[in-house]
Amino acid sequence: MNWRLWLPLTAFVAFLAIAAYSMSQPKDDFVRSEMVGEPLPYFSLPPAAEGQPGVSSTDFADGKPRLLNIWASWCLPCIAEAPQLAELERQGAEIVGVAIRDKPEDIAAFLAEHGNPYTSIGRDDLSEVQLGIGSSGVPETFVIDGKGVITYQHIGDIRESDVPLLLEQLREAGA
């Protein structure tokens, strides 16, 4: 028997195994940030809403862990996650917003309608911060610890079941 003749079949079986395994896995379209575990890169964003300060990376290194929420008034899932952000705020989370490619009047209207859980909101008109921290969509929520290091990334809108998870991550980041 010639072992070489079995090579095509072996390669094909390997392909089948991979294909079958991939079919059985739910499709994951997320591009995860490689910046988790890294300090925030330097940035400084102008304020996005009247009466609230803008956001700078230096704000984060004061010992208090925070949530950094990437959102926009034009994004539909952001409306869906607004109640969860309010709930997180009620439970003591400090949430910093970064509005992506957004106009001040649209931001004001969104906050008036869906509530404002943010302590400060920065305008990121060129997606600079988004690119800087490795976020690839809206909305996304990052946990930043008291030293300004990114410790967790949540991709997509925050569902009710995600709230305890984020609080837990926040608590860990504070420890």
Partner 1 sequence: MIAELGLAALWLAAALAFLQMAAGALALRAGPDSEIARLTRPGAVVQGALALVSFAALLYVFAVTDLSVALVAANSHSLKPWIYKVSGAWGNHEGSMLLWVTVMALAGGLIALVERRLPERTMQATLAAQGFVALGFYAFLLLSSNPFARLEPAAREGLGLNPLLQDIGLALHPPTLYLGYVGLSVAFSFAVGALLTRQVTPDFARVMRPWVLGAWIFLTLGITAGSYWAYYELGWGGWWFWDPVENASLMPWLAATALLHSVSVLASRDALRVWTIMLGVVAFSMSMVGTFLVRSGILTSVHAFAVDPERGSFILALLAIYIGGALLLFALRAATISEGERFSVASREGALVFNNVMLSGILAIVLLGTLYPLLTEAFGVRVSVGPPYFNPVSAIFAIPMFAVMAVGPLLRWRRDRWGRIGKQLALIAALLLAGLVLISMIGGIALLPLLGLAFALALGVASFLPLRGRRLARTPLATWGMVIAHFGIAVSLFGMASESAFSTERLAALEIGQATTVGPWQVELAAVGPQAGPNWTALAGQMVARYDGGNPVEIVPMARSFWAPPQQTSESVLVTRWNGQLYAVLGDAAEGGRWQVRLWWKPFVTFIWYGGGLIALGGMLSLIGRVAGDLKRRRVRRRARQRREDAEVPA
Partner 2 sequence: MRRAVLLAVLMGAPLAAQDAMPPAPYAYRQLDDAAQEAEAQDLMETLRCLKCQSQSIADSDAPMAGDMRHQVRIRIAAGEDPAEVRGWLMDRYGDYVSYSPAMNVRTWPLFAVPGVLILIAAAVLFRRFRRAR
Q: Which does 47 bind (CB under 5 to 8 A by kind): partner 1, partner 2, none?
A: none
Q: How many CB atoms lie within 10 A of CB 159?
A: 12
Three-class SS of residue 72?
Answer: coil
- In a 10 Å sphere around its CB, with 0-12 CB exposed, 13-18 middle and 19+ buried, how is residue 61 labelled? middle
User: Toward partner 2, which CB reaches closer, 13 or 109?
Assistant: 109
Q: Which does 20 bind (CB under 5 to 8 A by kind): partner 2, partner 1, none?
A: partner 1
Applying CB under 8 A, does 31 fall inside the site for partner 1?
yes
The number of helices, as runs of H, and strands, as runs of E, in the chain is 5, 7
Calculate helix-pair angle for 76-90, 162-174, nearest 10 degrees: 50
Applying CB under 8 A, does 12 fall inside the site for partner 1?
yes
Phi, psi of 89 (to 5 degrees): -65, -40
Applying CB under 8 A, does 34 fall inside the site for partner 2?
yes
Least Å from the CB of residue 74 to partner 2: 5
Applying CB under 8 A, does 161 fall inside the site for partner 1?
no
Stretch (H or E) spanning 12:
helix 7-24
Applying CB under 8 A, does 175 fall inside the site for partner 1?
no
Residues near partner 1, by CB under 8 A: 1-2, 5-6, 8-9, 12-13, 15-16, 18-23, 25, 27-29, 31
**Contact positions toward partner 2, by CB under 8 A?**
29, 31-35, 72, 74-78, 100-103, 106, 125-128, 130-134, 136-138, 156
